[in-house]
Structure 1
Amino acid sequence: MPVVPMKQDIIIERGETINDYGKTIPDQIIEHKARVDEGTFLVEYRASSNVTSKEVVAKAKILLDKLQDVRYEDTISYTNELNETIKGKPKKINVRRHLSGKPILTEVFI
């Protein structure tokens, strides 16, 4: 039983094969129950005294039950309640452990 409720679904696409038409298709598609916390923030850069640029950065933190096989080469996609799809490769993967040393959660940032 998970530590936190896992009510969202994510899809992990692993590996690539090129078909006859030159399009890439994933070799494996793995579905998981997960907890996804998503958000955005604004980053402002100042290049010179009067030129600034603004960039919106989106991020999502995905919690998976126990120790899951997630790799940096995988592509993870998630569709939220507003029917917006967030798709990306993992930037950071953490395993959270209990005091006994058993893994409780796998934390993935995309």
Structure 2
Amino acid sequence: MALIPLKQTITVYPPGNDDPWNPVPTVPFTLRCRFQEGVEVVTDEHGREVVSSAQIFFDKFPDITAAHTFRYTDESEIERSYDVASIGRKRWLNGKAILTVVYVK
């Protein structure tokens, strides 16, 4: 059970391989999440400050990296594509991850 209700779903697109001789097929998958729009300034993996347009909350520790792309369809059937700006983990006192927050741009 998640710390917050995860009522939405998002489609996750793994990064592809640019090698023309040995391409790796990427299979998109869906995850339950909570999508929250809001502007925040976060630090990306290169140490630069970037503006995040939304936050995506996932339960525990999903297999997501900064190279993944997300596609979200809202209640009015508008589909948007997002790239990762930063990934953060929220942890219990025992050190286990309870939430993963992905800040997207």
Short-chain TM bin: 0.7 to 0.9
More strand by share: 1
Unaligned runs of 5+ in 2: 19-24, 41-50
Which residue of structure 2 aligns with residue 62 of structure 1? Answer: 56
Give TM-score scaled by structure 1 length: 0.71
- 2-side partners of 1:9 and 1:69: how far apart? 15
Contact preservation (8 Å) 2:37, 2:54? yes
- 1-side partners of 2:87 and 2:39: how far apart? 19
1:102 matched to 2:96? The reply is: yes
1:31 matched to 2:25? The reply is: no
Number of residue equivalences: 88
Contact preservation (8 Å) 1:12, 1:30? yes
CA RMSD of aligned residues (A): 2.1
Which residue of structure 2 aligns with residue 81 of structure 1? Answer: 75
The ranges of structure 1 where at least 4 consecutive aligned residues each deviate by more than 6 angstroms after the TM superposition are none
1:86 counterpart SS class: strand
Contact preservation (8 Å) 1:15, 1:28? no
| Residue identity opposite 1:10 in structure 2 | I
Give TM-score scaled by structure 2 length: 0.75
1:58–1:85 CA distance, 2 compared to 1 (3 A): farther
Q: Based on CA coordinates, which of the two structures has the bigger radius of gyration?
A: 1
Unaligned runs of 5+ in 1: 19-25, 42-56
Identity %: 32
- 1-side partners of 2:101 and 2:35: how far apart? 10
Q: Which has the higher mean CA deviation after the structures are superposed, 84-93 or 61-70?
A: 84-93
